[in-house]
Amino acid sequence: MNKQDDFAPTVVLGHEEGSATAAPQRLEVRFTGSGSEYFRIWIVNLLLTLVTFTLYVPFARARRIAYFQNNTLVGGDPLGFHADPWKMFRGYIIVLLLGLAYWAVTHFMPGLEWVALAVFMALWPALWRASLQFRLRNTSWRGVRFVFAGDLKSAYTSLLPFFLPALVFVLFLPHAPVEDEAPVPQQARLAMMLIGGVALAFTLMLPWLLARIKRYQHGGYRFAQERTQLHTRTRGFYGVFLKTAGVSLLAALVGAAVLALVFYVGARGFFGEVAAGQRKALLTLLVPLALGVVYLLIPLVSGPYFGARFQDLLWNGTRSDRIRFQSALRFRSLCRVTLVNWVLIVCTLGLYWPFAKVRTARLKLEALSLNVDGPVDSWLAQAQQSQKGVLGDAAGDFFGIDMGL
């Protein structure tokens, strides 16, 4: 694939032969990026971010998004990215100032934490929706731009429940005692009960909360005359979370059993031949090492399992009248890629990170495909005509914020 400018517009291709037929079409997704190409972008982004004290972050994000989208082919045609990085910079400054203001209030005026949180809650859903609008408006395929059609009210109703645990802590959690002041046992017990109750309630509600957010997000994607909806039920989210918890527990049990077997064999063999003092020293060294192995084994298994099942759950349930997504991401493939990525990142002291991102992106993207009913070119041509007068809307967006949601 020929190299192109980071923000080059997508070229509109001509009509395909036989597009007049109404037969369903299957559009495969391919990713043509390479680790060596992305490494050059990544290392420059990293250096400039450090030199500018993170002010280059929005420009780095724009280059990264442009690279991955321009190398993502849907039905043989790449996605385009048209965002102005300076608008993303303005959005970054707004978010940065909000974060600094929240930190200052909570640090210097702890009695007004609830005011800072209320302001944050009032602004964040609107900024989140604006970021989705900005990202979709600046993404195109075959010259037609995407649109995010989610309304503002639904953004608030979908996102605000996530703030409830923080709101409960701010309003009801007893303040920590000042220096040289003895803690009150009753307050300590109340704090522990409150933290435990909120953590348990949030854990039980997390699949429901995530389902609300994803239903809003995937229900707002619009392309040409098509608007998607997420038809996955909430119980499907609970199923993925419960299965992931079961896989994590199984991985922990298997790891513990293997380590117990190793210690048993060692105690009967090698450990039995050393002195008691040396045996104690070896156990002191090996026990933390064994616990570390189990600790790493759980995310190595549960992370890829959740990632594969969650992607399939979302995209297999996302469709419009004429477009149906399919995802066939396999846990074994994602686990194998994740394991290799971890090992090579550690061995290269982090320099393999961009190669790992490319490998993971290729696996996840190429597991996706689209089934489209009817001639794609005909309704794309209609969409191009209707968008001629509104393509300037994206240029007028002030909130150029991309939070990756």
Per-residue pLDDT of the chain (405 residues; tens, 9 = 90+): 444 444 444 444 444 444 444 677 899 999 999 999 999 999 999 999 999 999 999 999 999 999 999 999 999 999 999 999 998 998 888 888 888 988 898 888 877 888 888 998 999 999 899 999 999 999 999 989 999 999 999 999 999 999 988 888 888 776 665 555 555 677 778 888 888 888 899 999 999 999 999 999 999 999 988 999 999 999 999 999 999 999 999 988 887 787 777 667 666 555 555 555 565 666 666 667 767 777 788 889 999 999 999 999 999 999 999 999 999 999 999 999 999 999 999 999 999 999 999 999 999 999 999 999 888 777 777 776 666 544 434 434 545 555 544
For residue 399, which of 10, 60, 137 has the smallest C-alpha distance?
137
Are 399 and 130 within 8 A, CB to CB?
yes
Are 244 and 302 within 8 A, CB to CB?
yes
Q: Which stretch of DSSP H or E encloses residue 79?
A: strand 77-81
What span, in angstroms and rounded, lies between the C-alpha atoms of 37 and 6? 12
What span, in angstroms and rounded, lies between the C-alpha atoms of 344 and 336? 12
Kindly state the tokens that stand for 333: 């493939």
For the whole model, what pTM was predicted?
0.85
How many C-beta neighbours within 10 Å does residue 255 have? 20
Q: How far is CA 271 from the centre of its chain?
A: 46
Kindly state the tokens that stand for 168: 């409960």
Are 319 and 231 within 8 A, CB to CB?
yes
Amino acid letter at 220? G
* % pLDDT > 70, the chain: 79
Strand partners, 371: 26, 324
What span, in angstroms and rounded, lies between the C-alpha atoms of 230 and 215? 5
